[in-house]
Structure 1
Amino acid sequence: MLRNNLLRRLPDGFLAGLRLEPVTLSRSFQLSSPHQPMDHAYFFESGIASVVVRSPEGQHTEIAIIGRDGMCPASALLDADTDPFSVFMQVQGEAHRVPISELKAALSEDREAQGLFARYAQALAVQHAYTALSNAVHHIDERLARWILMCHDRTDGAEISLTHEFLSIMLAVRRPSVTTALHVLEGKKLIYSERGLVIVRDRAGLEAFARDAYGECEKEYERLIGPIADRDGTAG
């Protein structure tokens, strides 16, 4: 059974015409490099990919995460050969990949699929925008709560495999700030953190703590695409 939210919603005829190749993606696997063309598009069944933007002087921050809700690179949907982002696996997982040339050819002949992917590109742009807003206005504790919730949306169970180093990159802060923020969430019994692992203890409490840092881009995704598959593989 397909768990990727886009593949599940594609017309049957369109899906039958794609050569989907199952692949296993290890942590840190580089999916896309800045300004470099990609040969394949990846539709994630599990795991989490991180979209990172870097300045010419080497400053970097995450602008989006992608799991079974989507695919990469979005540039393939926008008829652009490359983009300036780096995309790599933050949490290992499984995916289906398809040659980008084949995906584009199939899209050129199917307006229903074009519409779905256009809405996904819009949903991803909204996630970019709300990440920028959160980075600008929310405290690190709330940003961390938002980010854990977003990862939890895209994983099975309560355990999320995350290191402090990854967290510092994703949140554009120093590692001591990550440690302090994790201790805040642990002190409120919202999560449990140990080396390389975050365990969600109180999902509702985490959402309440994140306040308006979390939820808006999730609502927009559901409006445009539909609910993400639940952890048992069914649509919510």
Structure 2
Amino acid sequence: MADIRQTAVRNNLLRLMSPTSFSAIAAHLKPVDLPRGFELSEPHEAAEYAYFPETGIASIVARSPQGQHAEIGIFGRDGMTPAAVVLDAGSDPFSIFMQVQGDGFRISTELLKSLLDQDGDLKNLLGRYVQALSVQGAFTSLSNAVHHIDERLARWILMCHDRTDGDEISLTHEFLSIMLAVRRPSVTTALHVLEGRKLIYSERGMIIVRDRPALEQFAADAYGESEREYFRLLGPYN
């Protein structure tokens, strides 16, 4: 396998590593395709690999014992998974899988844990990412509680847009219904609201952002707080 150059990677966490930390981890990174639906980790099971996406969007979904489910977070080139490896927690109760296909790198979780034990700077960097991810989950809970579905949809589209090249985002109604924890007819209605305001264009399996500034204005305080926390801890990732 060819050497992985730090200046060529797109994953923000890999880019932010010190040259020493990156050199140590790069020796064990393997490029992988990440197709839609690919399971990155399963609930209550220790993951064999940790993943650092370069492209695509992964979804973190919480499920109740009765099968109810809702998305509590997303990440792409801004992050990695599973956070449980960084926290030395073994596993977590979430289902984490690709919602928008992409590619990235993987490393054995055992190797990553060993590197974290040896490298304080690496542990600090990934720990700051876990903090940013937890803040995103907290503000997702807040948004679900206090914001109208139209604003929540605008928030999720903006978050996906942040992690996508260009203005076209591959988002199915099924994915959006999980994002918003609502039925598909409610998704359709909310999409029509945003389309009517000329903020987006929606077609089967695809959303095109037409007016990003106006979409942010429409989302109001539903969007931005967790993004500011990520920036404070780690800087920009676009």
Could you say which residue in structure 1 is the equivalent of 2:128? 119
Query: Aligned with 2:118: secondary structure?
Result: coil
CA separation in 2, counterparts of 1:61 and 1:165? 11
Percent of pairs with identical residues:
66
CA separation in 1, counterparts of 2:120 and 2:192? 49
Q: Does 1:24 align with 2:28?
A: no
Post-superposition CA distance 1:41-64 (Å, at most 9, x none): 000100000000001111110000
Could you say which residue in structure 2 is the equivalent of 1:75? 84
Unaligned stretches of 5+ residues in structure 2: 1-7
Of residues 9, 12, 16, the one that matches 1:5 is 12
Post-superposition CA distance 1:11-49 (Å, at most 9, x none): 111111221100011101111111011111000100000
CA separation in 1, counterparts of 2:194 and 2:18? 43
Please report the TM-score for the alignment, with normalisation by the length of structure 2. Answer: 0.95
Post-superposition CA distance 1:47-97 (Å, at most 9, x none): 000000001111110000010000000000000111000001000001110
CA separation in 2, counterparts of 1:197 and 1:119? 33
CA RMSD of aligned residues (A): 0.6
Q: Does 1:43 align with 2:43?
A: no
CA separation in 2, counterparts of 1:106 and 1:12? 14
Post-superposition CA distance 1:164-212 (Å, at most 9, x none): 1111111100000000000000000000000000000000000000000
Moved over 4 A (4+): none
Unaligned stretches of 5+ residues in structure 1: 231-236
Please report the TM-score for the alignment, with normalisation by the length of structure 1. Answer: 0.96
Q: Does 1:192 align with 2:191?
A: no
- The alignment of Structure 1 onto Structure 2 pairs a total of residues equal to 229
Query: Aligned with 1:17: secondary structure?
Result: helix
Could you say which residue in structure 1 is the equivalent of 2:4? none
Superposition pairs of residues 52-131 of structure 1, within 5 angstroms = 52-131=61-140
CA separation in 2, counterparts of 1:61 and 1:117? 25
